[in-house]
Amino acid sequence: MAILLLIIILLAAAGFGVWKYLGKGWFTDRTLERENPIAKIYTQSYQDDAQKKIDELKSEASYTPADLLLLVNPYGTNTTGLYIYFQTDEAVSVSYNIHADGYADFSRTLSATPSTEHEYQIIGMVPSALNTITLNLMDEAGNIVDSYSFEQQAPALLRGEEFTTLTVEEGTSTQSLGDTLYTMLGPQEKATFTYQPYTCAYDAAGVARMEIPLVEYRTERQTFANDLMYYNISYNTIVGVNSLGKMVERYDLNHYSMHHDYNLGYRNDLLVLASRDDDTTTEDRIVRIDLESGKVSELIDLSELFSEYVAQLSNPLDENKWERFLQWTQFTSYSAMNWIHVNSIELVDEDSVLLSSREMSTIIKIDNIYDESTIDYMIGSPNFWEGSGYEDLLLTQVGEFSLQAGQHALTVETDDSLSDGQYYVTLFNNNNAICWGRDYDFSTDPNYWDTGYDWFQDAIENAGTPELNSYYYKYLIDEKAGTFELVESIPVAYSGYISSVEDIGSTKVICSGIATETVILDENNDLIQSMTSNYDYWWYRVFGYDYQGFWFE
């Protein structure tokens, strides 16, 4: 009996050791692959089978512009993507036009480099419609030497046919929008707070031209490097997909779960905001993924950088040792302390990043990120940080204005006219100040006015109403002077959570996520157009991508 008991104990210990070594994410992914058909798409076996089928078809016949090899979404990563292959006797480049009755035409250039072998993914078919696609073959001078047309029925969006279009309202500005595709990231049902695991891109007419299915959660952004598009498909996994739609790389975070954002680093890596699954604090780590080796390593533990501040807080899991043990073993879902809630990461230079803390309504610059990281400066309320031990790190405010509150989507911009040490930071000022990690009442802080303070009523119920505004903010940072100044402020529909801003050339794309409204402004901040959802869901972010150098020339 004693021997049997010893064996049981040893097996349990071994099982627990495997659990701790592989991480919760590994087990979650295996479960999803058994139960979720989309999870199977993002496996090496699925991608290998798709590639084998394509290679066999390519070897079975000779394909010409008049007799193409066409496959709808063979790799499973773009619902309306069309794989196309053919050869030509003469070297030509290729452009195309898509026509579907009742919708605006969609035209792009696939390659400006002449070739005799052509393998592409056609982007832009209208879902659930019969699409007439015209291929234009062009010589080195860009002259069309031949054209071929064919019809292709596009599948419906996996998300539902009702999401094929958005409501678009024209503004007073006549400025052209160009070829930008407005990529809606992180749709979430309002009634249930449930993420819809799809990324859709819409043209300026509000027509869906792409749908990327995900396993769970939401995609935070799309980043491009090494001829791949990187995006997350779940809390624990980021993939690299090539222009044909094939998953080439897969990175599993194992002991970590990502949240909110990631960005390309300067060492062929991704810097990922993450939580350690077996910790008692959450949303306070930065993880590095080496894109060549696939190695995942922890880069920064913010609870160490802010150790004096964290020591002043009360963590419920510290007070209950049993709950802390259960949290550590990962067998439970006890909530870890969300003391900082970092929601955005943006590189300032090759060794520094800006972070946005929603919990603190503070922007934080971290230096020396690849070695012994230090806090360089912060932008936040002196009242909030008074007596914390970190108040001397605050930049000095120039001018009178309400500070950013619950901000999202930081972007660093440089300008040749600026002096050394100066740069701009744009952000979505949600204008909703909340604090869960400590007993602090932002409503009594004189650095905020006309601001929301309630996590539900102000942040969600008042979204898009005249009660409050959110803002496009643009700060001028002067590191040498130790100051920040608000140089541009644009009121937009109120969204207490999520949301994004982005400057694209001379236009501004501003997404009020909970109001499900995106406005596109010209260089004078006049409205070019707005896009709104036809259904009750939110957008976490809306980023504009032209996908040039990836899908298009």
pLDDT per position as a tens digit, 247-305: 999 999 999 999 999 999 999 999 999 999 888 889 999 999 999 999 999 999 999 99
Distances (CA, A) of 99 to 114, 133, 154, 407: 25, 6, 12, 41
Query: So what's the pLDDT on residue 191?
Result: 77
User: Is the domain of 343 the same as that of 429?
Assistant: yes
User: Is the domain of 141 the same as that of 178?
Assistant: no
Mean pLDDT is lowest, of 147-156, 186-195, 207-216, 517-526, for: 186-195
Give the residue, 53 or 336, on which the prediction is more confident: 53
Average pLDDT value for residue range 356-371: 97
The pLDDT tens digits of the residues spanning 70-81 come to 999 999 999 999
What is the C-alpha separation between 426 and 438, in angstroms, rounded?
A: 28
Q: Is the dihedral of CA 198, 203, 204, 206 positive or negative?
A: negative
CATH number at residue 440: 2.120.10.80
Contact indicator for 239, 230 with CB cutoff of 8 Å? yes
Query: So what's the pLDDT on residue 6?
Result: 54
Banded model confidence at residue 60, pLDDT cuts 50, 70, 90: very high
What six digits make up the tokens of 477?
């940072």
Banded model confidence at residue 327, pLDDT cuts 50, 70, 90: very low
pLDDT at 221 over 50: yes
Nearest of 495, 515, 503 to residue 544 by alpha carbon = 503
pLDDT at 5 over 70: no
Banded model confidence at residue 341, pLDDT cuts 50, 70, 90: very high
The residue assigned the tokens 């035409």 is 105
What is the C-alpha separation between 431 and 463, in angstroms, rounded?
A: 11
Alpha helices in 61-182 (DSSP H): none
Alpha helices in 132-215 (DSSP H): none
Name, in order, each residue with C-beta under 8 angstroms of 2's C-beta and a sequence gap of 6 or more.
Answer: none
User: Is the domain of 449 the same as that of 319?
Assistant: yes
Phi–psi pair at 428, nearest 5 degrees: -90, 110
Amino acid at 397: Q
Number of domains making up the chain: 2
Contact indicator for 518, 530 with CB cutoff of 8 Å? yes
344 domain residue, yes or no: yes
Proportion of the chain above pLDDT 70, given as a percent: 90
User: Is the domain of 184 the same as that of 58?
Assistant: no
Banded model confidence at residue 44, pLDDT cuts 50, 70, 90: very high
Banded model confidence at residue 4, pLDDT cuts 50, 70, 90: low
Nearest of 348, 268, 257 to residue 298 by alpha carbon = 257
User: Is the domain of 121 the same as that of 248?
Assistant: no
CATH number at residue 130: 2.60.40.10
pLDDT at 335 over 90: no
Range of the domain at 110: 43-76+80-153
Query: So what's the pLDDT on residue 7?
Result: 56
% helix / strand / coil in the chain, to the nearest 5? 15, 40, 40
Q: What is the mean pLDDT of the chain?
A: 91
Query: So what's the pLDDT on residue 490?
Result: 98
Banded model confidence at residue 23, pLDDT cuts 50, 70, 90: low
Banded model confidence at residue 111, pLDDT cuts 50, 70, 90: confident
Banded model confidence at residue 324, pLDDT cuts 50, 70, 90: very low
The residue assigned the tokens 């898509």 is 98
User: Is the domain of 422 the same as that of 277?
Assistant: yes
Beta pairing class for 483-493 and 396-398:
parallel
Query: So what's the pLDDT on residue 493?
Result: 95
What six digits make up the tokens of 431?
């204008």
User: Is the domain of 409 the same as that of 495?
Assistant: yes
pLDDT at 32 over 80: no
Query: So what's the pLDDT on residue 331?
Result: 43
Average pLDDT value for residue range 144-155: 98
Reduce the DSSP state of residue 365 to 3 states and report it. Answer: strand
Contacts 24+ apart (CB under 8 A), 46-53: 46/76, 47/75, 47/246, 47/247, 50/74, 50/75, 50/76, 50/246, 51/246
What is the C-alpha separation between 553 and 549, in angstroms, rounded?
A: 5
Banded model confidence at residue 535, pLDDT cuts 50, 70, 90: confident
525 domain residue, yes or no: yes
Query: So what's the pLDDT on residue 329?
Result: 47
Banded model confidence at residue 330, pLDDT cuts 50, 70, 90: very low
pTM comes to 0.91
What is the C-alpha separation between 298 and 280, in angstroms, rounded?
A: 16
User: Is the domain of 358 the same as that of 477?
Assistant: yes
Amino acid at 489: S
User: Is the domain of 58 the same as that of 114?
Assistant: yes
Query: So what's the pLDDT on residue 526?
Result: 98
pLDDT at 68 over 70: yes
User: Is the domain of 459 the same as that of 328?
Assistant: yes
Query: So what's the pLDDT on residue 40?
Result: 97
What is the C-alpha separation between 360 and 78, in angstroms, rounded?
A: 38
